[in-house]
Amino acid sequence: MSQRVYLFDTTLRDGEQSPGASLNMNEKIQIARQLAKLRVDIIEAGFPIASPGDFEAVSAIARNVKGVAVAGLARTYFEDIDRAWEAVRFADQARIHTFISTSDIHLEHQLRLTREQVLEAAVAAVKRAKSYTADVEFSAMDASRSDLGFLCQVLQAVIAAGATVVNIPDTVGYAVPEEWGRFINTICSKVTGIEKVIVSIHCHNDLGLAVANSLAAVTNGARQVEGTINGIGERAGNAALEEVVMTFRTRKDHFDYFTNVNTEEIYRTSRLVSSLTGMKVQANKAVVGKNAFAHESGIHQDGIIKERTTYEIMNPAMVGISKSNLVLGKLSGRHAFRQRLQGLGYNLSEDELNSAFIFFKKLADKKKNITNEDLEAIIDEEIRRIPHTYLLEYLHISSGTTIVPTATIGLKQDGRLMEEAACGNGPVDAICKAVDKITGLNCTLANWGINAVTAGKDALGDVTLRITIDGKKTYMGRGISTDILDASAKAYVNAVNKLVWENGQVKT
C-alpha cells in the first residue's frame, strides 16, 4: 500500500535567502495562498525573530492562509521560540521549527559550544516550543557532516522531549544518494522512539543532487521532504519540490509513495514564484522550464505527432500547462478573454477582469495574436502588483549614437501629473534619473535584465530589475511592454512603488 510523503515548503524562508529574492509582505501572502492551492502540507513562512517585517509577514500568513500548517523558524534561544509562537499562533495548525548545529565543524568554528551544551540547548528548546504547540519540529543543522553517534543521541533526546518531527538536513549539499540513504536508514534503525515521529530531510543542491538525495532518503524511511518551488534558496538552492512530486507521480512503478499535491497547480505556482522573486526559471529546468515539453528534433517531432508518449513521460496538462487552440486578438470579447483565463486557472473578480481586459486590448492593438504566456504576463503586471503610489503616464526618449540620451517622464500621484527630464549614460539610465527627480529618491540600479515572453518581432519584453538605496535592502521591479524602454520605465516605477509602500518615502 502506498505511503504518504508530506511536503514542507520553505520557499518563503530558505527560498527568500537567495540573493536578490527579497519579498514584501503582500508578495509573501500571494505565494502562500498559491502554495495552499497547490496543497503543500506545511508552509515555512519565515524566521520571525529576524526582523519586524519577517514577524509581520509570518503573522499575516498564519492569520490569512487557511487549510495548511504554518511554521516559524527559531534558533534554540527562548526569545526566538517565543517570537515564533507569537507569529504562528493563529494558524489553522501552528508549528514551531527550532534548530541547532550538530556537526563538530560548526560547533568548533561557529557556535563555540561543546556537544553537551548543544544537547542541552536542543532539549530545552523543544520543551519550550512544546509548551506552546503540539506540533514541534527539530532540525540538526549540518547533519550530513555530523558524527552519527552524537546525531542519534540528540535526535533521541529531542523526541523524548516532545518533538513530533525530526529533520535531518544536508545543509551544505555534501551528501550523495547511496551514502545519504544508508545514513537515514541507520538513524531510523538506531534512534529509540523514532517510529513515533515523522522523519524529515532538507537537502541542498550544491552538487546538483538535492532531489536525488531527497528520494534516497524517502526510500530509507523519511516521510517529509523539505524544499522550495523552482529549487530556489541559499547558494545552489534546495530540492525542487515540483521535481520530487512528479517523480513520485510518474514513476509509481518504482516509488510506492504519494503526496497530497494538486499537480495541476505546479506550473502556475512556479510562474508566480519566478515573477515575484525576479528569479527566472532556466529554459531546460525539469517539469516547469520553457523547454520541458518542447521538441525540436525532427525524429522527436515525428514521434510526438504519432503518439505523445514516445517522447513525453509526463502530460503537460498534468502540471497545469494549457494547450488551448483558441486564438485571441483585438476583436476578441470579454467572454473569450475570461474563458481563456479560467482555462489557465485564473478566476478574477469583476474589477480585476476589467483591469486586465483593458491592458489586453491595448496589447492586442500592437500584437496580432495573444498567447497564453502573454496573458500570464498581463496578470502578473496588472493584478499582482502592489498599490501604486506613482503611475507611469508617459515616456519620451531621445537617444542615438551621436547624442546624449535624454528621457522625459510623466508620473501621476493622486491624480496629479508630475514631469521631469534627465540625461544619462544610456536611455535606461536617463529614465531612472528622471524618475528619481520626480520622486526625490536617489536609487541605485543594482541589476537589469530582459526576457522575451514569446517569440517574434512583436514579442512582449519582460524587464526585471532591482534597486537599492544606500546599499541596503533591494527592491525588485517588473514591467512588460512591446517596447523595451517602456517596460524598463514600468519596472523601475514598480520597484520604487514597492520601496515607497514599505517605507512610506513619498515626496510631497
Give tens-digit pLDDT for 37-72: 999 999 999 999 999 999 999 999 999 999 999 999
Neighbours of 127 (CB within 10 A): 15
Burial of 186 (0-12, 13-18, 19+ CB in 10 A): middle
Q: Name the percent of the chain lying above pLDDT 70.
A: 94
Give tens-digit pLDDT for 440-491: 999 999 989 988 877 777 778 889 899 998 777 888 888 888 899 999 999 9
The helix (run of H) or strand (run of E) holding residue 151 is: helix 148-161
Q: What is the pLDDT at residue 372? A: 77
The helix (run of H) or strand (run of E) holding residue 117 is: helix 115-130
Q: What is the pTM of this model?
A: 0.85
Q: Are 479 and 489 in contact (CB under 8 A)?
A: yes
Could you tell me which CATH class the domain 391-503 is placed in? alpha beta
Give tens-digit pLDDT for 162-199: 999 999 999 999 999 999 999 999 999 999 999 999 99
Per-residue confidence band for 328, with pLDDT thresholds at 50, 70 and 90:
confident
Whether residue 324 has pLDDT greater than 70 = no
Give the N- to C-terminal CA distance of the chain in Å, as an integer: 66
3-state SS class at 110: helix
Give the CATH fold of the 3-277 domain. Answer: TIM Barrel (3.20.20)
Whether residue 298 has pLDDT greater than 90 = no
